[in-house]
Structure 1
Amino acid sequence: MPKWRRLQENVLFLFPSVILTLALGIYPLVWVLRYMFYDYAGYGQELFIGLDNFRRLFRDQLFWDSVVNTMIFAGGKLLLTIPLSLLLAVILNAGFRGRNLLRAVYFMPTVVSTAVISVVFYILFNAYNGMVNQQLLKFGAIGEPINWFGPDYAMLTVILVAVWGAIGNYMLLFLAGLQNIPRDLYESAAMDGANGVQRFRHITVPMLGPVMQVIIMLAIIASLKGYESIMVMTEGGPIGKTEVMYLYLYKLLFPVSTGSPVEQQIGYGSAVGFATALIVGAITLLYSYLSRKMNRVF
């Protein structure tokens, strides 16, 4: 086949992807980079204001509070999700009847709409007639109903809901890694007298090292960007206790809920979005650096 013909075919194959990337990736990015320097509310006059949006950003306590809340939310979610997912994967990787059904049950939250999950848990954790409080009162664990969406427990509640929704996805990835570990290694270790904990520590964990690095990376990004369930259950409240970065950004760009801080501000929202992307990117790069250190451990 002539080179020009092969080049023509390659261009035709790549053309749809290039168009979609330009339309849905490059153009929105350029659009956001432009409006960072404008006072623009989505309609009317565009006023060039230079770096005023960034000066406002550094003085915006709501934004910096949302950064702190995001770190708390992401840290709590990661600390619970990764170990529980690994534990479930190890249990369900064993040979017992009904394991395929349990795998499907634990994976099901991943394919259910986040909005549906959030509404269900909002009803379950309702302070007055929610099932969680009813069961805790029934067994005498508490003396009076707990306001799970109050200032003291709201962050814990949204973290638990996020963990429940994400655990099945990472469990499946861990299962895929476990099934690629040769069984001969476990049999040889057992013959040498290694118990279950020792086999897990010296065989399972090192062999899962590359898979675990990818899972942790995906979990970090998803945790930092997560806001949908929070928006449904608390809208960032009460008094901003669950306001995370992407929820605050959403309220600036699409102020359709009662929890929106002010009117639509596309110019300032673009600056907030840029700063948010830098924070997420910096954390991702930090983890990439640390993951190279992890290669020496696993």
Structure 2
Amino acid sequence: MALAPKKNKLSLWQRIRQNSLAYKFIAPTFVAMMIVHLIPIVQGLYLSLLDVRLTTLTLYLKAPFVGLKYYIEVFNAIFGIGEAGASSRVTGLINAASNTLVYTIWTNIGTLGLGLILAMLLNREFRWRGIARTLVLLPWVVPTFVTGTIFNFIWLEQGGLANKILLGLNIVDTPVTWLIGPNSLYALVIATVWRGLPFTTIMFLAAIQVIPTDLYEAASLDGANGWQRFRHITLPLIKPIAGTQVLFGLINGFYGGYNIAVQMFGGGTGFAGEYADLLVPAITRQTWERHLYGFGSAASVILMGMLLVFVGIWYRAFRDSLRAE
């Protein structure tokens, strides 16, 4: 039996030359975006090496050079070395980093899991399916700060919609405190999932709809049940889209949630106490309330580095499926 000739894998530069026209079209936008993003990144890196405070901000070019002082302070606190752990600003960031990790995990699980379930349901034939698909998009068109305001009213201890439902159904005897204490982080997670669910649902729905129905029919003839068809056909073919959604979820987990937190918890900085404080609101407070611009810049650089590590892990996990796509 004749074997099909093995295709040689193209190198990066060969793929670029093969698609040179497409790269020429996107080059102007790419260069503009690089300039817009690169200048703040370089400035942030420079500020993180200076002791820039309110008194030296206007003359920050002459601010004292402290090198890696702020980076060392943060890392010492993380690993429990030296006296940096006693610094309230550092311990606050460590607590915010822990909350951010939990927040990122749960928002990803919620949006991916519920988004896939909704996409599977919306892919079925039923009456008013078009209206249902339109209604699913409604949370996505609501601005994030409006989302925060809506959920602020939902989670109010006295008169909030959530507590009215729980009390009315006799699930709880006393109103639940949602916006303060251990429940506050999960209240923020639910609000974030509600806001991001439509986008994930539509992306999964688009991926499912391009799967050839012949594959499902052939699997059914071979005796495969619904779960087997989902596991061996649907999941492998939507893996590239799932990988993209995980990446969006990572970015949103690290940098998102700020606008929702500001409106939901109030106070102008999104501070919800130790239980639901996230990295971006915490860094914002250090930078603009305490006027520690150098420290805030160093913390932002560390946050960017943390995200790059997770993106590297994500790429290794989904590299093969993305290349196959």
The interval holding the TM-score normalised by the smaller chain is 0.7 to 0.9
231-240 or 173-182, larger mean C-alpha shift = 231-240
Q: 1:137 to 1:16 in 2, by over 3 A?
A: closer
| Letter aligned with residue 170 of structure 2 | G
* Residue 52 of structure 2 corresponds to residue 18 of structure 1: no
2:93 to 63, 70, 84: 63
CA distance in structure 1 between the aligned counterparts of 2:26 and 2:237, rounded to whole angstroms? 38
The answer to whether the 8 Å contact 1:128/1:145 transfers is yes
Aligned to 2:121: 91
Residue by residue over 1:222-247, the C-alpha shift from the partner in whole angstroms, topping out at 9 and shown as x without a partner, is 12222221222225544321111112
Q: 1:16 to 1:244 in 2, by over 3 A?
A: closer
Residue by residue over 1:179-233, the C-alpha shift from the partner in whole angstroms, topping out at 9 and shown as x without a partner, is 1100111122222332222211121111112221222222222122222212222
1:106-145 aligned within 5 A: 106-145=136-175
| Letter aligned with residue 100 of structure 2 | T
SS in 1 for 2:53: coil
1:1-298 aligned within 5 A: 18-19=31-32, 21-22=34-35, 24-41=36-53, 43-45=57-59, 46-58=63-75, 59=84, 60-226=90-256, 227-234=258-265, 235-253=269-287, 255=288, 262-292=289-319
Aligned to 2:4: none
| Letter aligned with residue 34 of structure 2 | T
The answer to whether the 8 Å contact 1:236/1:242 transfers is no
CA distance in structure 1 between the aligned counterparts of 2:157 and 2:26, rounded to whole angstroms? 56
What's the TM-score, normalizing by structure 2? 0.79
Q: 1:159 to 1:15 in 2, by over 3 A?
A: closer
Q: 1:222 to 1:13 in 2, by over 3 A?
A: closer
CA distance in structure 1 between the aligned counterparts of 2:217 and 2:171, rounded to whole angstroms? 45
The answer to whether the 8 Å contact 2:151/2:191 transfers is yes
222-231 or 73-82, larger mean C-alpha shift = 222-231
CA distance in structure 2 between the aligned counterparts of 1:169 and 1:214, rounded to whole angstroms? 12
Residue by residue over 1:73-104, the C-alpha shift from the partner in whole angstroms, topping out at 9 and shown as x without a partner, is 01111122111100100110112121221122
Q: Give 5+ residue unaligned stretches, structure 2.
A: 1-22, 76-83, 85-89
Q: How many angstroms does 1:36 deviate by?
A: 0.9
What's the TM-score, normalizing by structure 1? 0.86
Q: How many angstroms does 1:171 deviate by?
A: 0.6
The answer to whether the 8 Å contact 1:38/1:267 transfers is yes
Q: 1:191 to 1:161 in 2, by over 3 A?
A: same
Q: Give 5+ residue unaligned stretches, structure 1.
A: 1-9, 256-261
226-235 or 273-282, larger mean C-alpha shift = 226-235
Q: How many angstroms does 1:20 deviate by?
A: 5.4
